[in-house]
């Protein structure tokens, strides 16, 4: 991994783009589109510019490093499942029964010495160039502005290194940073995250908090930064375990934080616990803008870098994106750790269009009544898994969780109202659907039971056109309809509406059709296509708060429309992240992207 570009050329079909391109919208839009394609490639932009600020940057921008599963696996140098097995073996380590057992155990323990990061006494390659405070200018870095309505430019692949007030704990977290000025950055560590917890310690003590933000180096650092390790465990231990080689750290120049010697750029500075500034909006990985909110500010003391640094960045927005592949590896590697809390868990899957924390499917062996419900509560109570909004548990006889069609059939053929649990808990700071921030509805479905054995004798299936026509007689706001999974016991009817009032009223009006509807899903017509099941899952999982938006009479109904005062919702409802049409047209005309109407609709680009 010494020369990342060479490595990406040989292992990942790196695409090099020499055309001068703007860090505002152009570069991010190309990366956004590339990673949605099958066999997408990492991209190196050699001539980033900023037309508005009249800047030609001296360093290239590298994007989509985790472009697909194959590259991701190569970055790890082994299959994520193999790492999971390694972790499982460590967790289950037993005293050896015989001589060979002792030898195996000794070699495993010997290898463990490689997990601990090593603190070096000398400087690192990341410190070849040192820019003193007086000359710090964040405008020299090709920081991207991804979306038209972003509040500015954001560092999106920053490895944020912090330590606890007493210095006993170190943390690496990946948090975005908004460029506020030439010398200050907005520090977007959300309240549930480890660095935010350290920040509280500094605030209580009234002390400035040192922070070093690294960019680049071994891409595994980036993955480790987003890995949801428990509080107090330094993510670079996981780096050592995976690489079987200690992370080599050097001290920052102006503070006591240690950072990897071989990253490309390090931004060192302090966060003043008394200073907050509005951060955002930012088009986030939910596919929505996160709204403006006050976040801490980092004052930059110095920037250090390699002689020829590379600036790494990612784009977040509507799925699928690079975080799909990072998330896939995380999901695999964390299975054994999850099993320590839920031993009968066989597997789990967080589909990318559920943006990870909005939907989880889990396969388990049930041993007693209420077992699946017990696991729901366990999930909702453990670390970052507690952000999960919708959890569906299936039995050990269920098909592959990634087989979307088969698993949906399995669930719908077992869905009974009495096995649905709706409760409340903490939710991701990015969630926009609940009436207040940070807490909201949770939906758990226990589909571990036997299938339903007979169809509802009162159910009368109707064609889409006929059902739509009958519905429109009852309520003219319904403009489109598509039924899914009509060969199961619980077909899903998706309707698109031109919403003017609470959907409670609409659901009540549809009572006369209750014999032809089992599960009704309502979405807004202006932002959804009822034929696009991929984006519908994304929309519904994002847009609902289960404790407010799920109804059980006269049928199961899910109101996935945008909410407003008519729903008793008084927060601001965020916009979708949409591409800039002029930018897309310009890039298409230059042959830098190649997309058509179907692609635009499939991924909700405009
Ligand atoms: C592309 C990407 C961007 C992210 N941006 C943020 C962010 O701005 N703020 C945040 O709190 N978490 C963000 N995360 C999630 C954190 O990296 C993740 O929750 C991580 O486990 C936090 O580490 P910690 O538990 O040590 O705080 C991001 C993850 C990815 C993959």
User: Mutual orientation of helices 80-91 and 322-339 as an angle, nearest 10°?
Assistant: 20
Instruction: Report angle CA 449, 487, 453 to the nearest 5 degrees.
Output: 35
Closest ligand 1 atom, residue 173 Cα: 23
What was the pLDDT predicted at 341?
Answer: 92
| Interval between CA 225 and ligand 1 midpoint (Å) | 7
Domain 342-447 class, CATH top level: alpha beta
Residue nearest to atom 22 of ligand 1 (CA): 173
Classify 174 in phi/psi space as left (phi over 0), alpha (psi -120 to 50) or beta. Answer: beta
Give the distance from CA 220 to its chain's centroid.
17
- Second CATH level (architecture) for the domain 464-567: 3-Layer(aba) Sandwich (3.40)
* CA R_g for the chain: 25
Residues contacting 30, CB < 8 A, separation 6+: 17, 21, 43, 45, 587, 592, 593
Residue-by-residue DSSP string for 340-359: TTSTTEEEEE--GGGTTTT-
For residue 289, which of 451, 206, 176, 208 has the smallest C-alpha distance?
Answer: 176
Instruction: Output phi, psi for 338, to 5 deg.
Output: -65, -35
Where do we find the tokens 């597997």?
347
Q: Which atom of ligand 1 is nearest to the CA of 190?
A: 11
Coil vs helix vs strand at 200: helix
Output the CA 172–ligand 1 centroid distance in Å. 10
Of 66, 193, 386, best ligand 1 pocket probe by most atoms within 8 Å of the beta carbon = 193
With beta carbons less than 8 A apart as the criterion, state whether 353 and 534 touch.
Answer: yes
Which ligand 1 atom minimizes the distance to the CA of 197?
A: 27
Residue 365 C-alpha to ligand 1 middle, in angstroms?
A: 32
Containing 522, the helix (H) or strand (E) segment is strand 519-524
DSSP string of 31-55, one letter each residue: HHHHTTSTT---EEES-EEETTTTE
Q: What is the pLDDT of residue 102?
A: 80
Q: Identify the H or E element spanning 333.
A: helix 322-339
Question: Please, what sign has the CA dihedral across residues 397, 402, 406, 407?
Answer: positive
Peptide bond into 281 cis (omega under 30): yes
* The pLDDT value given to residue 350: 97
Locate the ligand 1 atom nearest the alpha carbon of residue 196 and give its number: 27
Round to whole Å and give the CA distance between 23 and 581.
Answer: 16
Residue 322, pLDDT score: 95
If phi > 0 it is left, if psi is from -120 to 50 it is alpha, else beta; for residue 167 that is left
**Diameter over CA atoms, the chain:** 80
Nearest Cα residue to atom 18 of ligand 1: 226
- Contacts of residue 200, defined as CB under 8 A and 6 or more positions apart, other chains included, come to none
Residue 302: strand, helix, or coil: strand
Every domain of the chain and the residues it spans: 4-313, 342-447, 464-567
Distance between Cα 412 and ligand 1 center (Å): 34
Atom of ligand 1 nearest to the CA of 194: 27
Say how many C-beta atoms besides its own lie within 10 A of residue 203's C-beta.
Answer: 16
Protein residue closest via CA to atom 15 of ligand 1: 226
| Ligand 1 nearest-atom number relative to CA 326 | 31
What long-range pairs does 342-349 form, CB within 8 A, spacing at least 24?
A: 342/375, 342/378, 342/379, 344/371, 344/375, 345/375, 346/396, 347/401, 348/401, 349/401, 349/402
Q: Are the C-beta atoms of residues 57 and 210 closer than 8 Å to each other? A: no
Mutate to test the pocket of ligand 1, among 174, 198, 388 (most ligand atoms within 8 A of CB): 174
| Tokens describing residue 227 | 């890995």
- Residue 488's pLDDT is 96
Residues with CB under 6 A from ligand 1: 171, 173-176, 188-190, 193-195, 225-228, 314, 316, 323, 326, 384
Give pLDDT, residue 2: 58
Contacts for 24 with CB less than 8 Å, ≥ 6 apart: 50, 51, 52, 144, 145, 153
Q: Can you read off the two tokens belonging to residue 70? A: 């194959």
Ligand 1 atom at minimum distance from 383 CA: 25
Take atom 20 of ligand 1 and give the residue whose Cα is closest: 226
HEC assignment per residue over 236-277: HHHHHHHHCCCCEEEECCCCCCEEECCCCEEEEEEEEEEEEE
User: What is the Å distance from ligand 1's center to 173 Cα?
Assistant: 6
Cα-to-centroid distance, 77 and ligand 1 (Å):
23
Same topology, domains 4-313 and 342-447? Answer is no
- Ligand 1 pocket mutation, candidates 173, 320, 326, criterion most atoms within 8 A of CB: 173
How far apart, in whole angstroms, are the C-alpha atoms of residue 518 and residue 555?
Answer: 6
Per the document, the length of the chain is 606
Ligand 1 midpoint to CA 411 (Å)? 31
Closest by CA to 413, choosing from 453, 444, 446, 376, is: 453
- If DSSP states are collapsed to H, E and C, what string results for 578-594? CCCHHHHHHHHHCCCCC
Do 32 and 43 contact (CB within 8 A), yes or no?
Answer: no
- Residues 170, 190: Cα–Cα separation, whole Å: 17
Cα-to-centroid distance, 485 and ligand 1 (Å): 36
Phi, psi of 376 (to 5 degrees): -55, -50
599 alpha carbon – ligand 1 mean position (Å): 29
Instruction: Please state the atom number of ligand 1 nearest to the C-alpha of residue 189.
Output: 11
Number of neighbours of residue 231 by Cβ within 10 angstroms:
13
What is the position in ligand 1's atom list of the atom closest to the CA of 322? 1
Please give the distance, rounded to the nearest whole angstrom, from the Cα atom of residue 159 to the centre of ligand 1.
10
Q: How far apart are the CA of 275 and the centre of ligand 1, in A?
A: 22
The residue whose C-alpha atom lies closest to atom 16 belonging to ligand 1 is 226
Looking at ligand 1, which atom is closest to the CA of residue 323? 31
Residues lower than pLDDT 70 in the chain: 1-2
Q: Is 116 left (phi over 0), alpha (psi -120 to 50) or beta?
A: beta
Distance 84 CA to ligand 1 centre (A): 21
Measured from the CA of 227, which atom of ligand 1 is nearest? 21
Ligand 1 site-directed mutation target among 175, 201, 296, most atoms within 8 Å of CB: 175
Cα(313) to centroid of ligand 1, in Å?
14
From the alpha carbon of 384, which atom of ligand 1 is closest? Answer: 19
**Candidates 3.90.1150.10, 2.60.40.10, 2.40.50.140, 2.30.110.10; CATH matching 4-313:** 2.30.110.10
pLDDT at 1: 53
- What single string gives the DSSP state of each residue in 202-232? HHHHT--EEEEEEE-SSHHHHHHHH--PPTT
Residues whose CB is less than 8 angstroms from the CB of residue 7 and which lie 6 or more positions away in sequence, other chains included: 1
Q: Is 481 helix (H, G, I), strand (E, B) or coil?
A: strand
Helix (H, G, I), strand (E, B) or coil at 439: strand
Contact 525, 472 (CB under 8 A): no
What whole-number distance in Å separates Cα of residue 519 and Cα of residue 458? Answer: 15
Q: 177-179 and 184-187 as β-strands: parallel, antiparallel, unpaired?
A: antiparallel
């Amino acid at each position: 991994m010494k020369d990342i570009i060479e490595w990406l050329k040989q292992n990942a079909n790196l695409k090099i783009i020499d055309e001068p391109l703007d860090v505002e919208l152009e570069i991010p839009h190309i990366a956004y589109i590339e990673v949605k394609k099958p066999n997408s490639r990492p991209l190196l932009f050699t001539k980033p510019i900023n037309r508005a600020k009249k800047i030609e940057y001296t360093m290239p921008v590298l994007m989509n490093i985790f472009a697909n599963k194959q590259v991701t696996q190569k970055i790890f140098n082994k299959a994520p499942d193999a790492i999971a097995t390694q972790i499982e073996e460590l967790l289950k380590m037993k005293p050896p029964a015989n001589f060979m057992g002792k030898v195996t155990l000794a070699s495993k323990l010997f290898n463990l010495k490689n997990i601990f990061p090593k603190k070096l006494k000398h400087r690192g390659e990341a410190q070849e160039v040192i820019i003193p405070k007086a000359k710090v200018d964040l405008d020299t870095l090709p920081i991207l502005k991804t979306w038209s309505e972003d509040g500015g430019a954001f560092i999106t692949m920053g490895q944020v290194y912090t330590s606890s007030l007493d210095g006993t704990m170190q943390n690496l977290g990946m948090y975005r940073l908004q460029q506020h000025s030439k010398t200050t950055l907005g520090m977007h560590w959300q309240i549930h995250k480890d660095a935010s917890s350290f920040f509280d310690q500094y605030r209580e003590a009234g002390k400035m908090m040192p922070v070093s933000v690294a960019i680049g180096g071994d891409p595994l650092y980036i993955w480790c930064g987003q890995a949801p390790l428990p509080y107090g465990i330094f993510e670079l231990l996981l780096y050592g375990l995976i690489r079987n080689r200690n992370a080599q750290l050097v001290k920052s120049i102006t503070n006591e934080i240690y950072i990897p010697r071989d990253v490309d750029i390090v931004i060192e500075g302090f966060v003043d616990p008394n200073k907050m500034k509005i951060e955002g909006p930012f088009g986030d990985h939910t596919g929505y803008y996160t709204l403006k909110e006050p976040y801490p500010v980092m004052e930059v003391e110095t920037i250090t870098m390699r002689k020829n640094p590379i600036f790494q960045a990612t784009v977040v927005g509507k799925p699928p994106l690079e975080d799909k592949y990072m998330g896939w590896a995380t999901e695999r590697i964390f299975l054994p750790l999850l099993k320590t809390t839920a031993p009968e868990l066989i597997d789990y899957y967080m589909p990318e269009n559920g943006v990870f924390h909005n939907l989880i499917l889990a396969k388990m062996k049930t041993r007693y009544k209420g077992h699946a419900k017990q696991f729901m509560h366990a999930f909702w109570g453990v670390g970052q898994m507690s952000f999960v909004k919708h959890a569906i548990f299936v039995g050990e006889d269920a098909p592959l969780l990634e087989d979307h069609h088969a698993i949906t059939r399995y669930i719908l053929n077992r869905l009974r109202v009495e096995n649905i649990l709706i409760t409340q808990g903490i939710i991701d700071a990015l969630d926009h659907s609940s009436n207040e921030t940070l807490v909201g509805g949770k939906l758990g479905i226990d589909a571990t039971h036997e299938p339903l054995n007979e169809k509802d004798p009162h159910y009368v299936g109707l064609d889409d056109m006929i059902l739509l026509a009958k519905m429109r007689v009852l309520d003219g706001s319904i403009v489109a309809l598509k039924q899914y999974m009509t060969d199961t016991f619980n077909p899903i009817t998706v309707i698109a509406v031109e919403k003017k009032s609470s959907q409670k009223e609409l659901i009540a009006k549809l009572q006369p059709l209750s014999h032809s509807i089992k599960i009704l899903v309502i979405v807004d017509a202006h932002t959804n296509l009822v034929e696009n099941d991929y984006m519908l899952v994304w929309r519904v999982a994002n847009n609902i708060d289960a404790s407010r938006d799920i109804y059980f009479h006269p049928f199961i109904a899910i109101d996935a429309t945008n909410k407003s005062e008519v729903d008793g919702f008084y927060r601001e409802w965020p916009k979708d992240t949409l591409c800039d049409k002029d930018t897309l047209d310009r890039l298409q005309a230059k042959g830098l992207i190649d997309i058509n109407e179907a692609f635009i609709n499939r991924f909700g680009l405009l």
